[in-house]
């Protein structure tokens, strides 16, 4: 054996061996109990970052249950990541002096497709490099046609059951990227923003958004606010920068009497809260900011200004006309921004497809409360329940090219009829904005079923990525090998970072229950973030993203894997620690040196007495089995009995830790036992009676390697192969059990 462990020679060799032998497929244990994990698909737009190395948790579970004889399926995939991928690709275009507007839809889609396919290969190579035992024969991508077909079928089913509707609602709109977002995708920043106290006739109200005042269609007060009772239900005369006007005063319980003066202006087109007030009081929706983020023609001389420019210009003119009573420059408020570019989000009215979420969320809550699904760590249950209990209808339309185009066609003739209103029953118009829309499961309609017109246009929007990836557990199994869905669904575990519990995990529960009638997984495991060495979140904008391949080259994949689960309780954040990585690299060296001591034992160098006594008890290297049914367990040496008793305790500890998702307990128990109890104490105690101790040394070391294998697969395979054993690979040997002796 080499004096120094060479991971560069070991890791690629064994991964290729495992994959070629088919050990990653569930078919190696065809009669075993099914055990399934669907890999949370990484975005196909960029190489992996160090946070993806936390997939090690899933690999530990898969390797552990595979060794217990289960039919284990760890199914890999990648996500098209609609908006995020298009943003990444647009940055690539910008380097060439181009933009998305230079290409037609089909050309741009194909260009992004080619870009993604090239990157996917890099990503898959990185997953292999870290030892992840995925069944590559079942690899899936979210934009494969068989997956799109099922997603379309779900959309049609939900539409037919009245769970999907088209509505003109306020959406979170990024004017830079030209698309809407769901509420979860909006970030909020605490900022100091001037709070203007402006005069509206006899009333004074406070607002930060002067630029939306051209869209005001009412003022509102609380119905129990005694200060303003005489104004409720009346019109008041106001002076504006565009001249005199009239505005109605309404009473609504949504008004906070403690904010400002207790009077608010109501702008239904530019505030979700105001939109709701407007719906209750039948107010006009007057849009004054366009989707380009500039004021429109309704704003008179301010038309064409950006929101920020308009706010300053309007404030100056209102000051000149004595329409501002005072300004609070220290006002702190939460400003919504795009999570990708930081542009301030504009609440704008837009026709979108929405999912009615209330009934779906109740079923998802019930699944956890009834124990169909368990959440680890348990503290995340309250977050899950709270969000699902207060959920709003889900906007699933996105105004981008990259993704699944929504299978809905608009009849242009019916649209004309709708606009005329006189030719269609008014009650029908009030009931639904779906009028004139034809929804299919992907089939292209040839004519309108209502008016028979052939003038049809498909909705240019695509699905929110979370709508398609929310169906990932069952679509991957339904589109794979025959019988996979029936055998492996529901899956065993969904393991991911806690920050997408609501984005993705909760939505998978809702959609899985709706489509299949079963929860998509039995256990939800939520790991913490991996931060940079200074404890900061890794991001490309900060320039602190760590490439896991560079770390693997430095320390080895086994050291990375062990470092990510050692010393940090599962579910907690941790910083990338080079000292801990070095410690785990040292541990691989220690294992290697223990192996050299045991494996390279040469009895010919010993005296006659030791050679004779060894011959009766040494494990037979030719057969790979103990010569006397592990008779060394009846050893008269107390240190032999003690190390075997400690080994049995470690077997119990590691087994329990993996069953209970306490990976750190298992990692720490193995580190302590192998380095200190076995190497430092027991091995040292046997040097004077080496031959007698060799069977125990080999047995304890072999068992330790088997226990350690899910954590550190490469070095354990290399050393296990050099010991006497039965079978072709450590990864398909039996999980160690405590002795019955």
Q: Which of 54, 42, 47 is nearest to 576 (CA)?
A: 54
How far does CA 148 lie from the centroid of its chain?
20
Local structure of 275: helix, strand or coil: helix
Cα gap 501→40, rounded to integer Å: 12
Question: End of a domain among 330, 349, 379?
Answer: 330
Local structure of 497: helix, strand or coil: strand
Is 262 domain-assigned? yes
What does the pLDDT read at residue 486?
98
Local structure of 726: helix, strand or coil: coil
The answer to whether the beta carbons of residues 558 and 708 sit under 8 Å apart is no
Q: Which residue is associated with the tokens 């079928």?
A: 153
Cα gap 235→130, rounded to integer Å: 69
Question: End of a domain among 330, 358, 390?
Answer: 330
Cα gap 284→298, rounded to integer Å: 14
Is 474 domain-assigned? no
Is 524 domain-assigned? no
Cα gap 173→509, rounded to integer Å: 27
For β-strands 332-338 and 186-192, DSSP reports them as: antiparallel
CATH number of the domain encompassing residue 693: 1.10.730.10
CATH number of the domain encompassing residue 255: 3.90.740.10
Is 449 domain-assigned? no
The answer to whether the beta carbons of residues 260 and 206 sit under 8 Å apart is yes
How many C-beta neighbours within 10 Å does residue 392 have? 12
Is 219 domain-assigned? yes
Dump pLDDT digits (tens) for 213-222. 999 999 999 9
Is 60 domain-assigned? no
Q: Which two tokens mark 519?
A: 């929860």
Cα gap 512→478, rounded to integer Å: 13
What does the pLDDT read at residue 539?
77
Dump pLDDT digits (tens) for 612-658. 343 333 444 333 444 334 666 777 799 999 999 999 999 999 999 99
Is 371 domain-assigned? no
Question: End of a domain among 330, 356, 381?
Answer: 330
The answer to whether the beta carbons of residues 196 and 327 sit under 8 Å apart is yes
CA distances from 34 to 58, 69, 679 (A): 15, 10, 38
CA distances from 378 to 108, 298, 368, 508 (A): 44, 53, 11, 19
What does the pLDDT read at residue 615?
37
What does the pLDDT read at residue 18?
97
What does the pLDDT read at residue 636?
76
Q: State the total domains in the chain.
A: 2
Q: Which of 563, 559, 617 is nearest to 591 (CA)?
A: 559
What does the pLDDT read at residue 427?
38
Q: Which of 558, 589, 530, 734 is nearest to 132 (CA)?
A: 558
What does the pLDDT read at residue 541?
67
Question: pLDDT means per 10 residues in the chain (741 residues)?
Answer: 91 96 97 98 91 97 98 97 93 93 95 92 94 98 97 98 94 94 90 96 96 96 97 95 93 96 97 96 96 96 96 96 96 92 94 96 98 97 97 94 97 74 38 78 93 94 96 98 98 97 96 98 97 86 86 97 96 95 97 96 61 40 41 80 96 98 98 97 94 94 97 98 88 88 50
Q: Which of 27, 37, 31, 32 is nearest to 492 (CA)?
A: 37
Q: How far apart are the first and last CA of the chain?
A: 34
Q: Domain of 265?
A: 194-330
Is 56 domain-assigned? no
**Global pTM value:** 0.91
């Amino acid at each position: 054996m080499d004096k120094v462990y060479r991971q560069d020679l070991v890791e690629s060799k064994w991964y290729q061996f495992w994959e070629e032998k088919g050990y990653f497929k569930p078919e190696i244990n065809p009669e075993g109990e099914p055990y399934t994990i669907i890999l949370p698909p990484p975005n196909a737009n960029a190489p992996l970052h160090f946070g993806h190395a936390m997939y090690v948790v899933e690999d530990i579970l898969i390797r552990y249950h595979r060794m217990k004889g289960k039919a284990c399926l760890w199914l890999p995939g990648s996500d098209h990541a609609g908006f995020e991928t298009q943003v990444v690709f647009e940055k690539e275009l910008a380097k060439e002096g181009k933009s998305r507007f230079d290409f037609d839809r089909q050309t741009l889609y194909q260009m992004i497709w080619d870009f993604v396919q090239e990157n996917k290969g890099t990503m898959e190579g990185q997953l292999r490099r870290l030892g992840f035992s995925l069944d590559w024969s079942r690899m899936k991508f979210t934009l494969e046609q068989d997956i799109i077909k099922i997603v379309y079928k779900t959309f049609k089913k939900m539409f037919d059951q009245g769970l999907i509707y088209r509505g003109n609602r306020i959406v979170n709109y990024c004017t830079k990227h030209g698309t809407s977002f769901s509420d979860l995708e909006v970030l909020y920043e605490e900022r100091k923003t001037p709070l203007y106290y402006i005069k509206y006739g006899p009333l004074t109200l406070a607002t930060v958004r002067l630029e939306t005042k051209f869209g005001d269609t009412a003022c509102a007060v609380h119905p129990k606010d005694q200060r303003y009772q005489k104004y409720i239900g009346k019109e008041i005369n106001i002076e504006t920068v565009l001249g005199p006007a009239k505005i109605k005063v309404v009473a609504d319980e949504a008004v906070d009497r403690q904010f400002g003066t207790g009077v608010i202006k109501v702008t239904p087109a530019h505030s979700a809260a105001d939109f709701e007030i407007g719906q209750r009081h039948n107010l006009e929706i007057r849009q004054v900011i366009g989707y380009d983020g500039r004021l429109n023609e309704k704003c008179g001389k301010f038309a064409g200004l950006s929101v920020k420019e308009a706010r300053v210009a309007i404030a100056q003119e209102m000051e000149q006309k004595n329409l501002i009573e005072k300004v609070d420059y220290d006002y702190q408020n939460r400003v919504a921004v795009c999570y990708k570019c930081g542009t301030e989000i504009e609440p704008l009215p837009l026709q979108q497809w929405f999912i009615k979420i209330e009934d779906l969320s109740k079923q998802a809550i019930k699944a956890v409360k009834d124990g169909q699904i368990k959440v680890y760590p348990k503290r995340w249950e309250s977050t899950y329940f709270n969000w699902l209990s207060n959920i709003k209808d889900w906007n699933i339309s996105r105004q981008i090219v990259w993704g699944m185009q929504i299978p809905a066609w608009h009849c242009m003739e019916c649209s004309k009829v709708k606009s005329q209103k006189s030719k269609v029953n008014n009650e029908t118009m009030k009931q639904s904005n779906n009028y004139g829309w034809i929804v299919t499961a992907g089939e292209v309609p040839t004519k309108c079923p209502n008016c028979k017109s052939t003038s049809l246009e498909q909705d240019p929007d695509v699905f929110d990525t979370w709508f398609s990836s929310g169906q990932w557990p069952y679509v991957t199994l339904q589109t794979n090998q025959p019988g996979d869905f029936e055998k492996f669904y529901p899956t065993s575990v969904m393991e991911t970072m806690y920050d997408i519990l609501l984005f993705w995990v909760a939505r998978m529960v809702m959609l899985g229950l709706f489509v299949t009638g079963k929860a998509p997984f039995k256990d939800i495991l939520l790991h913490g973030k991996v931060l940079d060495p200074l404890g900061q979140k890794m991001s490309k904008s900060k320039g602190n993203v760590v490439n896991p391949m560079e770390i693997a080259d430095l320390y080895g994949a086994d050291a990375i894997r062990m470092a990510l689960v050692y010393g940090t309780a599962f579910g907690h954040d941790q910083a990338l620690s080079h000292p801990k990585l070095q410690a785990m690299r040292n541990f691989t060296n220690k294992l290697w040196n223990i192996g050299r001591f045991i494996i390279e034992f040469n009895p010919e160098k010993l005296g006659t007495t030791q050679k004779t006594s060894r011959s009766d008890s040494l494990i037979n290297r030719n057969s790979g089995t103990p010569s006397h049914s592990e008779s060394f367990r009846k050893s008269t040496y107390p240190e032999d009995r003690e190390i075997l008793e400690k080994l049995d305790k470690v077997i119990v500890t590691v087994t329990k830790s993996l069953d209970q998702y306490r990976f750190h307990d298992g990692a720490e128990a193995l580190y302590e036992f192998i380095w200190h109890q076995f190497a430092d104490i027991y091995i040292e105690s046997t040097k004077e009676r080496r031959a007698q101790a060799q069977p125990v040394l080999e047995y304890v070391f072999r068992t330790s390697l088997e226990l350690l294998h899910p954590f550190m697969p490469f070095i354990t395979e290399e050393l296990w192969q050099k010991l006497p054993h039965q079978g072709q690979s450590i990864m398909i040997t039996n999980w160690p059990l405590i002795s019955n002796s």
